[in-house]
């Protein structure tokens, strides 16, 4: 299965999301179930509209599905994606090996990244917030294992200092992404159109984070979210 963008696949009824990429689940046709390959997974039901498949850091399979979505179909989709799950597990193992080789950043290294980020951010925030016509609140720099950036309902922004180890265009993309959340608190079509207006290459930047971000995040100390 190839990842695709939900926005271009309007006819998809249910969408199986692979982390940040998407894979079509069902397109009006009966999906093919591979019953022979059963995979253990944790099922989390909620009021969501799509079925999401992810592999945790420990290799565990997690499925998020809408209430009422048939269990049999979930089983089928999990089996169908056994190859993808295996690939994710291999990717995680590779990231672990790479992180082990390069090691967790020392507190001094984290401080230096944060200091560099503190110098780099104001110009970017100013430029992009002016272009979007938004105002932001407090800006916090963290060294996190979990995310690159976030935006609170009050308009406060958080950025991960590990982004200083990524290409600068990727940092710009994350800044743009979070600032666009000041106008759209979701990942709607309108949100992505706004992102694209300031970063026409945002898909390439997201791809970079998908492919290289995991190994980078592992360089933050386990369980320590703030620097
Ligand atoms: Zn977002």
**What b/e readout covers 20-33, taking b as 16+ CB neighbours within 10 angstroms?**
ebbbbbbeeeeeee
Q: Match domain 107-217 to its CATH number in 3.30.2010.10, 3.40.50.720, 3.40.50.300, 3.30.470.20.
A: 3.30.2010.10
Confidence of residue 26 (pLDDT cuts 50, 70, 90): very low
184 CA distance to ligand 1 middle (Å): 9
pLDDT at 209 over 80: yes
Q: Using the 8-state DSSP alphabet, how is residue 36 labeled?
A: T
CB-hemisphere CA count at 13 Å for 53? Answer: 29
Q: How far apart are CA 50 and CA 17, in angstroms?
A: 8
181 CA distance to ligand 1 middle (Å): 7
198 CA distance to ligand 1 middle (Å): 15
Confidence of residue 226 (pLDDT cuts 50, 70, 90): low
Q: Each residue of 38-65: pLDDT tens digit?
A: 568 889 999 988 889 988 878 888 899 9
Domain assignments of the chain as residue spans, ordered by start: 6-102, 107-217
**pTM, entire model:** 0.64
CB 202 within 8 A of CB 173: yes
Written as six digits, the tokens of 55 are 């592999």
Q: Each residue of 131-146: pLDDT tens digit?
A: 999 999 999 999 988 8
Written as six digits, the tokens of 179 are 């600032």
89 CA distance to ligand 1 middle (Å): 25
């Amino acid at each position: 299965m190839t990842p695709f963008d939900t926005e271009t696949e309007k006819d998809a009824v249910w969408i199986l999301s692979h982390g940040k990429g998407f894979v079509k689940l069902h397109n009006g046709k009966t999906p093919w179930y591979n019953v022979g390959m059963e995979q253990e997974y944790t099922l989390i039901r909620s009021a969501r509209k799509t079925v999401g498949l992810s592999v945790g850091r420990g290799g565990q399979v997690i499925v998020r599905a809408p209430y009422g979505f048939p269990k049999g179909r979930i089983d089928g989709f999990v089996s169908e994606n056994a190859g993808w799950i295996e690939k994710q597990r291999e990717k995680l193992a590779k990231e672990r090996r790479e992180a082990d080789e390069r090691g967790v950043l020392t507190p001094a290294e984290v401080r230096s990244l944060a200091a560099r980020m503190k110098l780099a951010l104001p110009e970017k925030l100013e430029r992009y917030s002016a272009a979007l016509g938004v105002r932001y609140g407090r800006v916090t720099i963290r060294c996190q294992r979990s995310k690159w950036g976030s935006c609170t309902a009050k308009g406060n922004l958080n950025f991960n200092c590990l982004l200083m180890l990524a290409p600068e265009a990727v940092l710009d993309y994350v800044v743009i992404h979070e600032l666009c959340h000041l106008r759209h608190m979701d990942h709607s079509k309108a949100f992505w159109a706004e992102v694209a207006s300031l970063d026409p290459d945002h898909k390439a930047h997201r791809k970079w984070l998908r492919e290289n971000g995991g190994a980078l995040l592992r360089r933050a100390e386990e369980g320590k979210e703030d620097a």
